[in-house]
A and B are shown apart, each in its own frame.
Chain A
Amino acid sequence: MTAPHPQSLVEDYLARLHAAAAGLPNDRRAELVEGITEHLESARAAGAAADDAAVRTLLERLGDPAEIVAAAWDLPDPSRPAPPARMTWQQWKNQPGTTLEGCALLLMTVGSLFLAWPVGVWLMWQSKKWTRWEKALGTFVVPGGPIAGFYLRILLPREHCPRSSNLIATTGPSPSSPPLQCSGGLPHWLTVSLTLMMVVLPLVVAALLWYIAKRRSRNDPRASPYAVVAPAAAWTGLEIAVIALLGPGALMLYGIGPLLGLMLLHTSPQWSSREKRRATTLMVFTVLAGAGFGFALLPRLNGGWAWTPLLAYVLPAVASMTAAISLYLALKRRVAAQSSPE
């Protein structure tokens, strides 16, 4: 018989806890399992679960699952006083549901049509169900909300196509007048795809934030977008989708594919935070560097706009596919290492 893997010790413990807690009300059971799971994950991050012996000590100190659940039963539900007829802002903000979060997201999406986006963002930062990183995501993708795309459309320099009618009016038709030529500004296709992205992205982010808030208000660790303890290394639909969106998706679904892929990547328990950060940084850096380089240099180069496809399409796609390949190899290696006999 081989010694059990530390990971399987933890999984076994959590399974026993889950079973022992079966009788507790749903939300209390979920909160308990989530707490213990996070405890184990924190211990691992602190290096207190490096080997078998350490994991055993850790679990021993936590105590028998049955004992923990018994303690949960011993604690009666607090006798809550009836909620006052008029809640203070503090009480309303801290109530367990997702009213605040729903209002914030509505204002940030639909409300942006009526310029209520800043109010939505302010509400979002009041919420306690999102982390700072998640709130920053909501704020910066995209400032102004979906409506910002339309303003961008107005503000962006447009291709200037002189109309021959002006010429006709002033000088009359002339066989020597130059052929119609468009000059200056961004090419039409780029303006359209930028506008589209700026409308779609905030909606995607809002949907993700809503999902997170909903799960957290239900204390639902298993359906949480951040699964706390990764099960044994394995490919699930989520990981395959990540690779597909970052790889081929970069070519076929311009902008949206990689962005969705990145978001899904951050919800997968299969990759470490470092791997996730590396992939994200690579892609964000490439896009920013390409955009900065493009806006600074292209207008000054003669015929510089011809480079736009390289900067706006090819480079980001290459970065995205590089990320996809490195993520694929990392997980493939882990799956292989796990299945090989120790």
Chain B
Amino acid sequence: MEPGATRISQLRRGVLEYCVLSLLQESELYGFDLVKRLSDVEGLVTSEGTIYPLLSRLRREGWVSTTWAESESGPPRRYYALTDEGRTALAGFTDEWVRFRDSVDLLLLKGKP
């Protein structure tokens, strides 16, 4: 593993929950669908299973709520939806993140084309 990789994985872990929230902004999703969409984004998720503890925490935090709905085949599924509190948290983080990212870029990429 490259020396920077561990750090990046810590950083990734902190940001991932907001990525989940932002996926839920438009519509509610069930676990498998949500995980698939996250995995489709390059370099965001290393092991898909770890998203489930994250979802559980978001639920307990009150940022997402869950409902059950019938599926085409098989048993009912648990759907995750963004709550108002989650929406506020996401908006707050997005503002902070843009500023943070710009500042880091400014320093890291100084002098690079």
Interface residues of A (CB under 8 A from B): 28, 31-32, 34-36, 38-39, 41-46, 61-65, 67-69, 71-72, 74-75, 77-78, 80, 94, 128-133, 216, 226-228, 269, 272-273
Contacts of A94 in B (CB 8 A): 65, 83
A68 touching B49, Cβ below 8 Å: yes
Interface residues of B (CB under 8 A from A): 13, 30-33, 35, 39, 46-50, 52-57, 60-62, 65-78, 83
Q: Which residue of B lies closest to A43 (CB)?
A: B32
Q: Which residue of B lies closest to A42 (CB)?
A: B32
Q: A31-B52, A31-B56, A68-B49 are in contact. List 17 more A-B contacts (CB 8 A).
A: A32-B52, A35-B56, A39-B52, A42-B30, A43-B32, A45-B71, A45-B74, A63-B48, A68-B53, A71-B13, A71-B50, A71-B53, A78-B60, A80-B60, A94-B83, A227-B75, A273-B74
B53 touching A39, Cβ below 8 Å: no
Contacts of A71 in B (CB 8 A): 13, 49-50, 53-54
Q: Which residue of B lies closest to A41 (CB)?
A: B74
Tell me the dominant secondary structure on chain A's binding face. Answer: helix
Q: How far is the CA of A91 from the CA of B66 in the complex (A)?
A: 13
Q: How far is the CA of A39 from the CA of B70 in the complex (A)?
A: 15
Nearest-neighbour CB distance to chain B for A1, whole angstroms, equals: 28
24 residue pairs of the A-B complex, CB under 8 angstroms, read A31-B52, A31-B56, A34-B78, A35-B56, A35-B78, A39-B52, A42-B31, A43-B32, A44-B74, A46-B32, A61-B39, A63-B46, A63-B49, A67-B47, A67-B50, A68-B52, A71-B49, A71-B53, A72-B53, A78-B61, A80-B61, A216-B68, A226-B76, A228-B75
